[in-house]
Structure formats: C-alpha cells, structure tokens
Amino acid sequence: MIDRQTIPLISLCLIFMLMAAACQHQPASSTPEMLVTATASRTSRATASATLTPTQNPTNTATPEPTQTRTPTITPTNRWGERGLELTPLAYIQRDIHIQNIDSVQELAIWGTGRANDILLSPDGVLLAVGTNIGVYLYDSLTIELLLFFPTRHAVQSIAFSNENPWIALGESGGIIEIFDYVEIMPMRTLKINQTNLISPYRMSLAFSGDESYITSIIKTDAEIHINRWHTSDWQSAISFSIDRGLADYINIDTDLLGIFSKDALILQSLTHPDESHSIPLTTPVSELLWHQISAYEPEIISSRDGDFILFNTGNAVIPRHISEEKVAYRLDEYPESLPNPCYDAPDTCLNANGGFSWDCRCIPSIPPIELIELSPDNVMVLISQYEGSSEFRRVSDSVLAWEIEEVFIDVTFSPGSEFFFGLKPDGMIEKRGTLDGDLIGSLNRHPSKLYDLAFSPDGSVLAAGFNDGYIRFYSLLDGQMLGVLNGNAQSLTFSPDGSLLAGGLDDGRVRIYELDLGRFYEISPGHMEAVTDLAFSSDGKQLLTASDDCTASLWDLTDRYRKWQFMPDEDNPFRLRDVEMVANTSLKFISGNRNGIFRLEANETLDVWFSSEVGFSDLTVSPNELYLGAAGTQSWLLTNLEPALSINPHPLETDPLSKGVALSFTSDSSVLILATAQDLQFWSAANAGFLKNLPIYAEPAPNSQPVDVETSPDGMLIALGTQDGMIHIFGLPSTSLD
C-alpha cells in the first residue's frame, strides 16, 4: 500500500516538464488561467504548485470599459464550510476501501470550478457572475480576475443583481433562492418556493423589480408557469400563483408583465395581480409565420425593456413585432430549416450491409439552427447566434448587419451601456467582445462545459482529467490542488503501467502519447476517423488498444509506432465502440459499444460475441484480481468466468429502471463493484452481486450532472467520480486522526 505522506515527487516533476513543453505549441492567449480549487485543507506535504504562469489576453483599448464605481472587499472564504462537508486533508487518509468498511464511505471533497449554467453582468458592469452546480463565482469584468466565490447547497440555475443594493440572488435546484451581500461577503436570506408539486426538469428565472421592492421567481414546467414574489424590505412572501404555459412566453420585469402566446392571441399577465390580464389578438400572417415550426423547436421570445416590441426566434427565423402594430417589419429566414441529426454523423465504417446505420436516432430531439437571440440593453441591436457557424450583430429596426464573427454562444450578457458583452461558448470558454466590431477583448477559461475522462497515475500522486476545452488538467491527490495542464481535447485517458506514458484519445480521432519522462508527445498515425472513446495499455506498456466512434478498434505497437491491427466487432451491423479492456494474465481483450453486447478478442486474434445485449454498454471494467467484469448500461451486469475455457456466469444488478448505469470501477481488493448512475454512486458485492449501499451525487437534480467516469485510486483509498458538469467528486473514508 502506498503511503500518501511519502509519495515521491519524481512523477510530478516529469509532468511539469511535459506541461511546459506542450504549452509551447500554443499561443499564450489560449493557455487557461490557473485556479487552485482544492477543497481539502492545505498541508506542508502538499506538492509543488503549477509551473505555468497564466497569461491574459490583450485588451482592445478601442472598446470603452465601464467606470469602476465600487470594488468588493476581498476576504478569503471557506468553500465547503457552509455545506457541512468534512474538510479532510487527503494526505492523511491511510485506510483502503473494502466491503467491511463500505458503510463508512462518504464524499470528502469536490474538485474543479464547474460548468457555467448562467452568466450575468452586474447593473454597473463591474462584476461578472458565473453560476455553476456548486455556487457562483464573481469576476472583475475589467481584468477578468476572480474576486469571490459563494458556495451553495444546490445547483445555481439563474442569477439576479439588484440595481441599487449590493445584492446577488441565486435561483437553485430544489426551489431554493439564496440572497448574498457581495460587498460585506455574507449570506442575507434563504427563500423557498412554496409550490410542492414541481417536477424536474424545470427552469427558474429571477429578477429584482425596477424599484427593488420585490424579487420575483418564475419557474417553467412543461405545462405551467409558477410565479412567486417576496418583499425585499422583510423578505416575506408577497404573492404566489400559477398559470397555464401556452405555446410560448416571455418575461418583462420592467413592465411587470408576463407574455403568454396562444395560436390566436397574446395574453399580457400582471406579475403582481393574478386577476389582471389583457388579451391582444394576433393577426393571421403573424400566427402563420410564428407557429409553423412550433412542433419542431421550442420558440424563444425576448422583449424590449419598455415592452413596445418583441422578437421571436422560431428556431430557424427571427421575427420582430411591435405590440401596437398588426404586421411585422421584416423576417430573417436565411438560416437553414433544420440541422442534420448528430446521432447519424458517422463515417462510412459505421454503415451496415444495407447502407444505413444499425442504431436508432428517432428519440434524439431536433437541433434548432438558431441557438439564441439577445437584445442589447439600449434595444438598438440584436445578437443572433447560430448553432453551427457564426454570430451576427444586427440593427433591430431594419435588420442591417453590423458585423459577423465565426463564434457560437449559448448565453450572452451585455454591459449596461452596450459597449461590450460576455458570451458563453459551447466548450465553456467565456469571451469578452466589443459591440463596435465584435473583436475579442479577453477570455475566461476556468469553466469547461464538459468533463470526458479520468485517470489515476500508477503511483497515486495525481489524477488526470480530460475536458472539452482542449486541455487535460492534473490534480494533486494530496489536496486537490490543480497542478497544471497539457494540450489535447482528450475524450479518453490512461496511464501506462509504469507511469512513464499518458495516452490520450482525442476527439478528432488522433491517438496522442505523452512521454512524461522526456517532456514531449507524439501521435500515432493514421489514427481513427472519429473520436477515440477508450484506451487500454498491455501489461508491459508496449501495446495500446483503442476504441472509436468510427465503429472500429485498433491495436497499436508503441515501440515502432504503427497500427498492428484494425478490426470491426460486427461487420454486418457496425456500432460505435465505447470501451475496451485488456486482461494482463490471459491477453484477453473485451470490447463493447452502443449495441450488440460484449465482444472478446483472444490471444490468437479470434473475435467472438462473449455476452449478448442489443442495447450495448457504456462502460466495462475488469477487477484487479481479473475474476470479474462489470458492464454498465440500461441493464448493468456483474460477469464472472472470464477465461475462454469457462462458461460465462452473468449476474444482473437490479437497479431502478430509470437509473441507467454509466460507469464502473472495482475496489483495489476486488471485493466491491462501484456503479455510477445518473442519480447516485452504488456499491455492490462482487462475490454475490448483492446491493450494499448508495450515495447521491447531488442533493437535488442538477444541470448536466450525469456521471462520465468513476475510478479507484491505485492504493484503494479514494474513489473519483467525474460528472459532465466538469466536477470531480472524491469519496473515501474520513480520517479519524491527524497524528
């Protein structure tokens, strides 16, 4: 067993060498800023800090910046103290996890900064707020430096600033609203939505009224809109009611109205008086223009501040309408009618004998060509961002194009004077751009939108995590400090048995080998045609097995750097491969994907179906003693008798039908199978497939919080669970002594 207090620093130094070398291939402006995100207490045994120095993008001085009217006082805050999690210095954990102590396993820490669920500038333009599943981060909008972090018990879905007071309101999962004073750095009040029949998923919006006498929450479900208001003088409830949602809706806090569309009319509903509403008939041309795509896309509607006109985003067209007029001024409809279903975006290697695909994509929703529209605060311009391609900045009155950039944004917040805006990109990058010409002013790369994979180094010193923003981040196993980054948009990661190599399967099909002891990397070519979804080293580290979305697997010789063999598990009905496993003692290889079960590749290169399952599996794992194999999917299994001469012995893991298995790992002694589902972390006995316990991932459903990987540290003391929202949850046995 490895003693965490005496872990050698050699491997960390080698990683630092490679980090420095790898980042020389990228422009300075693309290097993500370093943020120490450890949740455990620092100790004198902590590893060295990152050797990379963050760089700031140059400022475009032609774009005006807001006047700094106040700067919040900076006081260090404890991230997790208010959440009640025990602050366990991970360096002192000296007990491995096994079936006898599994009841004591609990969450010890959460590492990472998390995906941005919402971004918003303060009314004075000084602060940029970024809401995540663990709290809200406040950045200086001028320098893009982190000022404050307010932890929350639940995921932050929406943010609201007051106009006059230094208040920030956070709308959270579970119907919770937390109010903070960001100058005094203190919580002020927690409010609870009084509707008890809310069904997830739902979306909450928050806003302070213009005179700040009220704070309003609006929650939308599939059928209803729930409105709740509180007096800000004493934070007591002012009003609560619900109405039918209709076909589309919008909110205008400035006019104190909620607009609800039916096919024939616009209903203007008072937010203060439930019995007050006004109906405006829709002209036939507007009705036809607006609703012909209603079944394909959910429409988006935004209103000018005075409520005089509104903009419709039907998914493939933008239509303005003045409330007092009967016709529209123009219609922007030069966008595609629809986008290809990404479920069928696969190369020819995935085509079956009939020239089609063997998987069904009918359940995948259509993607609207127009991602979002957003009015500038002065109501003069509108930003139109397309899902694939570009963003346009147009004059609202006549649709004249001011500029167009090759960037896509999924959320936008403008400065009060409309001089600049912050745009959240799909990969989590937040860009600051001028509205005069769309030029880039600065960027914030602390909130990657998706975590792909995790890998422990064999000596147990670091945890590598691949993210979709183009970087692999390294975390110290002592305390969770982020040590640095490597370049590479890696969907899959694995260390060689001796720890000298890190293999990364990139999203474009390349197989990249990082030589940690030499401070460099190389790529094996030709790679795959689509993303490399999983990798596995042979026991001697000289061969690498890869799986890909191109429906093929490859076996690579790393000594001479060539592909020894490429094969397709089912040539008549190819499927996307998700996972590969290599069994050291028998040279067996297991391959699985989104259908057709588990295939076994024997030492003589004989390939056969080992375990049939039409729906396939998302993850496979072999126990350290090589007696068991776990398979996660719609139905998850514990499988025994892996050797060719033995008959397979399957044990179904009887879980909730809605609790689909996503990822698995075994404890280091092979006594417990750990299964990650969308809701929790489950523990099963490897001896008899008996259920032992479960631990929830989040107290309430959180956006994009589905697990992507679960790994057990080599010494068996820690479990790392990676979730799509970019967080790494660390589980283990809490320390009973710091001696």
Q: Are residues 588 and 660 in the same domain?
A: yes
Asked if the structure places residue 398 within a domain, the reply is yes
Highest mean pLDDT among 48-62, 277-291, 354-368, 679-693: 679-693
Residues 11 and 148 in one domain: no
User: For residue 605, is it within any domain?
Assistant: yes
Q: Is residue 611 part of a domain?
A: yes
Q: Considering the domain boundaries, does residue 537 fall inside one?
A: yes
For residues 622 and 570, membership in a common domain is answered with: yes
Judge if 598 and 694 occupy the same domain: yes
pLDDT above 90: residue 690: yes
Q: Which of 426, 445, 464 is the last residue of a domain?
A: 445
| Mean pLDDT calculated for residue range 430-455 | 96
Q: Give yes or no: residues 218 and 136 share one domain.
A: yes
Same domain (yes/no): 423, 458: no
Other Cβ atoms less than 10 A from the Cβ of 58: the count is 11
Residue with tokens 């629809």: 338
Binning pLDDT at 50, 70 and 90, where does residue 198 land? Answer: low
- The answer to whether the CB of 219 falls within 8 A of the CB of 195 is yes
Q: Lowest-confidence range among 275-279, 341-345, 704-708?
A: 341-345
Q: For residues 645 and 601, state if they share a domain.
A: yes
With respect to residue 199, please indicate whether it lies within any of the assigned structural domains: yes
Contact 356, 346 (CB under 8 A): no
- Mean pLDDT score of the chain: 83
pLDDT in tens, 305-315: 888 889 989 88
Strand partners, 511: 505, 524
Q: Are residues 541 and 671 in the same domain?
A: yes
Q: Is 454 found in the same domain as 441? A: no
> Rounded CA gap, 461 and 725, in Å?
24
Residue 615 has pLDDT above 90, yes or no: no
Structure tokens at 317: 């067209």
* Structural domain boundaries, residue 400: 283-445
Whether residue 261 is found in the same domain as residue 293: no
Question: Is residue 71 one of the residues assigned to a domain?
Answer: no
**Domain check: are 680 and 531 in the same one?**
yes
Q: What is the pLDDT of residue 629?
A: 95
Q: What percent of the chain has pLDDT over 90?
A: 58
Whether residue 532 has pLDDT greater than 90: yes
Out of 265, 298, 327, a domain closes at 265
Pairing mode of beta strands 672-677, 661-666: antiparallel
Residue 300 pLDDT level (bands cut at 50, 70, 90): confident
- For the entire predicted model, the pTM comes to 0.86
| 93 within domain boundaries | no
Q: What domain count does the chain have?
A: 3
At 101-140, the pLDDT tens digits run: 999 999 988 999 999 999 999 999 999 999 999 999 999 9
Three-state SS string over 160-219 comes to: EECCCCCEEEEEECCCEEEEEECCCCEEEEEEECCCCCCCCCCEEEEEECCCCCEEEEEE
Rounded to whole angstroms, the Cα distance separating 556 from 525 reads: 10
- Quick check: is 97 in a domain? no
| pLDDT in the model for residue 76 | 32
If pLDDT is split at 50, 70 and 90, which confidence band does 64 have? very low
d(CA 19, CA 571): 40
| CATH code for position 637 | 2.130.10.10
One domain, residues 583 and 710: yes
Residue 262 clears pLDDT 90, i.e. is over it: no
Residue 81 has pLDDT above 50, yes or no: no
